[in-house]
Structure 1
Amino acid sequence: MNWTGWTIERFLILFVAIAYLLIGVQVTMSHYRQNFHHKAMWAPVVASPIFTITGLMLAMARSEWLFTLFALLMWVAIVAGIGGFYYHFHGVRIRVGGWAPRNFLVGPPVIQPLLFSAVGALGLAAVYWG
């Protein structure tokens, strides 16, 4: 593979694809550990590989339809992450003691869904400002 002449846009899309691969592994392990007790837990588990594959395809071969699909998927990632933030924050609240600092340490990771959204935002930056 020839990396000479790659634009920053292409590197960012590749980075986003790899980031979603890694995030997908982490979120799958975390949600599996919780036995997928809420249907919404499947969203990042199913979406992450789709984001990864689409990003890798776009990084390797620029195509307008892939560009459009990738942008749409990054918007989905942002919305999913915001929804996940709500569920995680709510999950901390329903623990014994509510929003006690200890529950933020042992409860659902409140920042993880925001990372999911942030990587989607980086993907959109690559698409729109690249």
Structure 2
Amino acid sequence: MASTIKLEVVTPERLLVSADVDEVIAPGYEGEFGVLPEHTFFLAILSIGVLRYRKGSEIKKVAVGGGFAEVTPERMVVLADVAEKADEIDVERARRAHARAETALKEVSLDEEATAKATSALQRALVRMAAAE
């Protein structure tokens, strides 16, 4: 039995993470899910959230802006629309984005599209701040 699983997080721009890890916890569309070595095959839709992975006692975080995950017994590939490692996140910029999104939500009329965009921006900002903590 394998003791680790290969995790790859890929965005349209680059390979963000490639590591052998003990465990992955990902933000699934219907809630978080965990993946360990030798996990059964499955595909999952990812929502905006924080992906966490552990190697030994070290836990790392990645802010994910949606995408897909493919899991096999040996590996997990995350195809993310947008993703940032926690140590690459500009927290001050995320705070400003959060403030702008909150202001936009207060100012929008009943326009569904504007409300959806502002809500999504608010979610992304909150996730980036959570990942950076």
TM-score between the two structures when normalised by the length of structure 2: 0.35
TM-score between the two structures when normalised by the length of structure 1: 0.35
Higher strand share: 2
Higher helix share: 1
